[in-house]
Structure 1
Amino acid sequence: MPAFWAVHDRAAGGTVEERGRAIVEGFFTPEIEAYRGAGIGRVDFVRWLQVFDPMAAAVRRLSAQFPALWQAHAARFRRALPDAVDDAPVTILPSFYYFDARVRMWRDRIVLFVGLDGVVRLHGADADLGILLDHESFHLYHHQVNPTLLLPAGDPLWLGIWKEGLAVHASAVLNPDATRLRVLLGDAALAAIGPEVIARVAAELPPVLGATANATRARYLAYDYRGDIPARSGYVLGWVIAQRAAAQGRDLAALARLPATEAEALTRREILALAR
């Protein structure tokens, strides 16, 4: 982020087109390997700046606060899950609205990328970073303790539902006083999902649970999905599945270690049970 702000500030006063070119030449291109690792492709920098400018001050504040916020979060997370390995790289950058935070394989390691512009755009200037970082840190932990989740063909839909649902469940367990809305990062549409929507989503899933195509996964897992069910409904369905598994006596550490074959069988079985 310091490198980004240096380029951003040097370009201040130019036209939006000039500023966009400055960011491409002075920041994006030199950092292209990190952006490839984060899964960020084409960016319309002029459009991005037009949206970014009104929120730049909030992103700058968060950028300055983030190191201390992360250190406090990491210490609290390790107290809750002492077997968490604190060696995963954490890369903070503008994601150009591709994401708020995501865990990816990069250079043969699991890496957490945090896009501060995405955080502010999706969750507001007063974003609840405690919940967001718990969610993403649990993704790191999940992969650290369970290498069976690294499937060579990529995540099928069932695995995306399981991993996201378990991360939501972990956020709820680690923040027992948090409301459902807060656990779901302020997404009112997700928080309003009830049994009828869960049943409807579960009923349509069995034929596509093995799909790895983004077009199929997006209906259930993407922020920007627009259709006849709430965006990211798979997160809530996965949370229900994780809660049902936890009710059988499994804690977070045990759930995280379920081998992929067992997690798949559990997810498919629970989806059939929830459908009607």
Structure 2
Amino acid sequence: MQNRTMRRRTALLAAAGATLSGPARACGPVQDLMPSFWAAYDALPPGNAVDRARALIAAYLQPNIDAYRAAGIARVDVAAWLPRFDPVAGTVRSLSQRLSDLWCARLAQFQRLLPDAEPDVPATAFVSFLWFDGRARSVQGRMALFLGLDMIVLLHGEEPGPLLDHERFHLYHHQVNPSLIMEGGDPLWLGIWKEGLAVHATALLNPGTPRVTAFMGDEMLASMDAAVLRRVAAELPTQLDATGLAERSRYLGYGYRGTIPARSGYVLGLAIVERAAQGRDLAALARIPAPEIAAIVRRELAAIAQG
């Protein structure tokens, strides 16, 4: 089974590489809040973090509060954030200066693989105050992408291309599959499928790269062994319909600390997607309706748990 999966994965990556050589459409601009952030940050008074935080809130955060609310960012402790941000400010500045070109290059590659993808992607770049690196979120009835450059640098360095691919695919997934919008939020089975399919898409968008690239540089996820995967798969069935933060954090949360690896649901999701692909290309996988996804996840989890 493993050899067949590897052969299928190699064939898909080769096909993606051929597809990526085609023409691309123009990309829409990122709503970039970083120039206003840098203007405020560079003008901060010397002194303690509390005084600097108050100045940054007044000059930058309050004028841009609507964007932060749209991104789902609630309370932030700017005074605690500043000492963590200051050492990486230079790297964040470098990334912010070239983000527009990087974003357009990644979108061009994305549109070659998935020509039906919308070229105009609502995207906002700012500092997320360490809430997230990238987040796809519904805003006024349309999925939008928010990029937290501070968290991107801390997690991914100055080369976040695979992260941009991953997050862009989430938007595409919702674009072509309205059944994903669920009242009350995503149940865990849907979150696992979404993340696994986004990892699969990232692998196709980066053909010839190591497995860790698809996991956005996370070596622990890329090297998770079959025994851990079986153990996590065995405990999941009773949790699959949960929509609460605790369950999502255990299987999908970056900051989870507990008895299983953080974001183990990403690895399980990829395993489920690869087992369920059965000749479907990426566009077809993205269009599987939610009720069928639920059945696939339950069936494949049971098979993985049994080894």
TM-score, L = length of structure 1: 0.96
Instruction: Tell me: CA distance 1:171–1:234, structure 2 relative to 1, closer, same or farther (3 Å).
Output: same
Find the residue that maps to 1:151 and give its secondary structure: coil
Q: Are 1:204 and 2:250 counterparts?
A: no
Q: 1:119 is matched with which residue?
A: 152
Q: Quote how far apart the aligned CAs of 1:112 are.
A: 0.4
Q: Are 1:251 and 2:281 counterparts?
A: yes
User: 1:88, 1:109 within 8 Å by CA — same for their partners in 2?
Assistant: no
User: 2:237, 2:298 within 8 Å by CA — same for their partners in 1?
Assistant: yes
**CA root-mean-square deviation:** 1.0
Q: 1:235 is matched with which residue?
A: 266
Find the residue that maps to 1:275 and give its secondary structure: helix
Q: Quote how far apart the aligned CAs of 1:88 are.
A: 2.5
Q: Are 1:85 and 2:118 counterparts?
A: yes
Q: 1:261 aligns with which of 291, 296, 305?
A: 291
Q: Quote how far apart the aligned CAs of 1:264 are.
A: 1.0
Q: 1:108 aligns with which of 120, 138, 141?
A: 141
Number of aligned pairs? Answer: 273
After the TM superposition, which residues 1-276 of structure 1 pair with which residues of structure 2 at under 5 Å, given as runs?
1-124=34-157, 126-127=158-159, 129-246=160-277, 248-276=278-306
Q: Which consecutive aligned stretches of 4+ in structure 1 deviate over 4 angstroms post-superposition? A: none
Which segment is superposed worse, 152-161 or 32-41? Answer: 32-41
The separation in 1 between residues aligned to 2:140 and 2:42, in whole angstroms, is 31
The separation in 2 between residues aligned to 1:189 and 1:230, in whole angstroms, is 8
1:65-100 Cα shifts (integer Å, max 9, x gaps): 100101111111101100001223100010111110
The separation in 2 between residues aligned to 1:183 and 1:256, in whole angstroms, is 17
1:23-55 Cα shifts (integer Å, max 9, x gaps): 111111221121111111111111100000000
Q: Quote how far apart the aligned CAs of 1:180 are.
A: 1.1
Q: Quote how far apart the aligned CAs of 1:12 are.
A: 4.5
The separation in 2 between residues aligned to 1:217 and 1:71, in whole angstroms, is 31
Q: Quote how far apart the aligned CAs of 1:14 are.
A: 3.8
Q: Quote how far apart the aligned CAs of 1:266 are.
A: 0.7
The separation in 2 between residues aligned to 1:183 and 1:196, in whole angstroms, is 21
User: 1:165, 1:240 within 8 Å by CA — same for their partners in 2?
Assistant: yes
Q: Quote how far apart the aligned CAs of 1:273 are.
A: 1.0
Amino acid at match of 2:156: H
The separation in 2 between residues aligned to 1:18 and 1:191, in whole angstroms, is 43
Amino acid at match of 1:259: P
Higher relative contact order (CA 8 A, sep 6+): 2
